[in-house]
Amino acid sequence: MAAGKGTRMKSALPKVLHKAAGRTMLGQVLHEVRAAGVNDCVVVVGHGAEQVQASLQEDPNCRFARQMPQLGTGHCVQQALPQIPAATEAVLILCGDTPLLRAQTIQQMLQLYAASQQTAQPLAGLLLTTLLDNPFGYGRIVRNSSGSVTAIVEEKDASEQQKQIREINAGAYIFNYAALQSALGRLNNHNAQGEYYLTDVISLLAADGLRLDTLPAADPLETSGVNDRVQLAAAAAELYRRKAEELMLAGVTIINPASCCIELDVKVAEDVTIYPNCQLRGQTTIGSGTVLDSDCLITDSQIGRDCTITKSVLNQAAVGDRANIGPFAYLRPGARLAEDVKVGDFAELKNAQIGRGSKIPHLSYIGDAEVGENVNIGCGTITCNYDGVNKHLTKIGSNVFVGSNSNLVAPVEVQDDAFIAAGSTITREVHAGALAVERSPQREIANWNREKSPQALAKSSASRAKALAESSDSRAQALAKSSASRTGAKKL
Ligand code: UD1
Ligand code: MG
């Protein structure tokens, strides 16, 4: 069920597309469904249908049904029914806003339901429940004197006495197909919200004398539905906690797990060490032995083995083994480093391929570049890649030494073993093995006397003139101000 607007989110984005730990809530529910072995899903979309459908474009297990307008969860499932083959034995129904539900729990539900089908009294419905200290907002499970489930009552329809019930409906169900079909046909919207509630299927089936049962969730958190952003943050925190726990149990050292946010799709190998305040996002992978020193933000990047990355930002970058990055490096999309590369402080790389053993130790911008092996890029080097209209390539061969504070005006090529003198602005090809110097010759005037130099004299007379102008300026301003205040003008 993913058609609702999610009014309580107060958002232009459909609720089920809000993300927790890097996945949309709906994507996370479907991920667990697949992990539980269920491969044929009908996703009911309605509010923001195109957007929700587009988010699942690459999911071959999903078919879609439309619910327009959205008249409640019962109405939602009514729209899905035509998409489900009549020969189907049982239907698993889940909410798109319960991202903490685990595959194991879904499997447990499937097993319990399947086992009951072998008995004399097979289940017509099974629902996941839990006991909450604060059940506010959830449907309450109503039982008769013999303990059988007879109904679910929504918060807004519950009597004061029913509101005391701590057992809640998690919104996860398995129904016998025929029983579901028959009950859905009998729903009405005579309730506080004027909606067709799926939860009313329970009282209808109970009245039919069919067998219903509940599975208490092993972990009450799993049943949490996300209806507002406070609950979204709580769900995300739990998913991050689970991810960190899973990684630690798989051999990753995380110094302060609560301070790190490692998204669900990130892969981290054994013997990686992650210091506090690191955020790993998207499809990032980290090779074994790598140390992420504090404050790294790494998105959709592939990091090799035995690297050290300190206080740096990487986005769509690929980093070879044993690289040493940061502090304060910025690797942007298309930065591709071979093995043993160093990128130091305040170096920014974009669409740049850096060969094995090359070093960009400090204060550089290397964009749209191909750099060979064992190159030293001196402090302050800039590839001038943009002419205001187009981006151009800088090619640097292997074993090149680029002196500090050089500008490489692209398109330009520096061939193998070349040497660029510090402070040069290179605009033409530099040939293999050559030294390129581009500086105006240094002049020297002997016995320079600061006070008497023509420059100093010119400067002091200029500063005298400026001071004079400023003082007459401020006199003029003062005059204007006083006359303005006399005439009542508000602004000069
Ligand atoms: C629902 C249950 C409640 C349960 C809770 C668990 C009903 C009537 N109530 O309440 O018993 O405790 O979930 O989290 O079912 N949706 C549609 N179409 C609609 C309405 C909703 O597709 O017309 C989808 C929503 O997108 C959402 C899910 O159904 O993914 C649940 O809807 P929501 O409005 O969050 O129901 P709750 O009030 O949480
Ligand atoms: Mg909900």
pLDDT tens sequence across 23-38: 999 999 999 999 999 9
309 DSSP β-pair partners: 292, 325
The least confident of 6-20, 35-49, 320-334, 441-455 is: 441-455
| pLDDT reported for residue 481 | 61
Single pTM value for the model: 0.89
Peptide bond into 69 cis (omega under 30): yes
Measured CA to CA, the distance from residue 430 to residue 264 in angstroms comes to 48
In one-letter notation, the amino acid at residue 385 is N
Ligand 1: does its nearest atom lie under 6 Å from the Cβ of 80? no
Q: Are 92 and 177 a contacting pair, CB within 8 Å? A: no
Give the closest residue to 200 by CA, choosing from 216, 213, 211, 189.
189
Name the pLDDT band for 492 (thresholds 50, 70, 90): very low
Residue 458 predicted with pLDDT over 90: no
Span from the CA of 94 to the centroid of ligand 1 (angstroms): 9
193 phi and psi, to 5 degrees? -100, 0
Q: Which residues contact 191 (CB under 8 A, 6 or more apart)?
A: 154, 156, 157, 197, 200
pLDDT at position 490, please?
42
SS3 (DSSP) at 126: strand
- How far, in Å, is the centroid of ligand 1 from the Cα of 92? 15
- pLDDT of amino acid 235: 98
At residue 295 the predicted structure's pLDDT band, cuts being 50, 70 and 90, is: very high
Q: How confident is the model at residue 453 (pLDDT cuts 50, 70, 90)?
A: confident
Mean per-residue pLDDT over the chain, rounded: 94
pLDDT at 469 over 90: no
* Centroid of ligand 2 to alpha carbon of 180 (angstroms): 21
Flag whether pLDDT at 472 surpasses 80: no
Q: Which of 222, 249, 250, 216 is nearest to 238 (CA)?
A: 222
Pairing, β 149-153 against β 140-143? antiparallel
Report which protein residue has its CA nearest ligand 1's atom 22.
Answer: 3
Active-site residue list: 362
Radius of gyration of the chain (CA): 34
Helix (H, G, I), strand (E, B) or coil at 329: coil
Residue 411, preceding bond cis, omega within 30 degrees? Answer: yes
CB burial readout 427-450, b (16+ within 10 A) else e: eeebeeeeebeeeeeeeeeeeeee
Ligand 1 pocket mutation pick from 94, 95, 100 by most atoms within 8 angstroms of CB: 95
Identify which ligand lies nearest to the alpha carbon of 224: 1
The alpha helices in 251-308, defined as continuous H runs, are: none
Can you tell me the distance from the alpha carbon of 125 to that of 141, in angstroms, rounded to the nearest whole number?
14
Ligand of minimum distance to the alpha carbon of 128: 1
Taking CA atoms only, the protein residue closest to ligand 1 atom 19 is 72
Whether 491 shows a pLDDT value over 60: the answer reads: no
Ion ligand 2: residues, CB within 5 A, are: 97, 225, 227
Average pLDDT for 59-68: 94
Assign 287 to helix, strand or coil: coil
Is 41's pLDDT higher than 60?
A: yes
The confidence score (pLDDT) of residue 459 equals 77
Could you please report the per-residue DSSP string of 168-202? EEEEEEEEEHHHHHHHHTT----STT----TTHHH
Report which protein residue has its CA nearest ligand 1's atom 23: 72
HSE (CB half, 13 Å, CA atoms) of 410?
A: 22
Spacing, Cα 369 to ligand 2 middle (Å): 50
In sequence order, what E strands does 340-414 have?
342-354, 359-371, 376-377, 382-384, 394-396, 401-402, 407-409, 412-414
C-beta of residue 136 within 8 angstroms of C-beta of residue 231: no
* Angle in degrees, CA 241, 245, 250, rounded to 5: 150
pLDDT for 181 beyond 90: yes
Nearest listed ligand to the Cα of residue 96: 1
**Across 391-418, average pLDDT:** 98
Q: How many whole angstroms separate alpha carbon 43 and alpha carbon 62?
A: 6
Return the ligand 1 atom nearest residue 26 CA: 30
Long-range contacts of 320-324 (CB under 8 A, 24+ apart): 320/356, 321/287
149: Cα within 13 Å, side-chain hemisphere: 30
Nearest CA to ligand 1 atom 25: 4
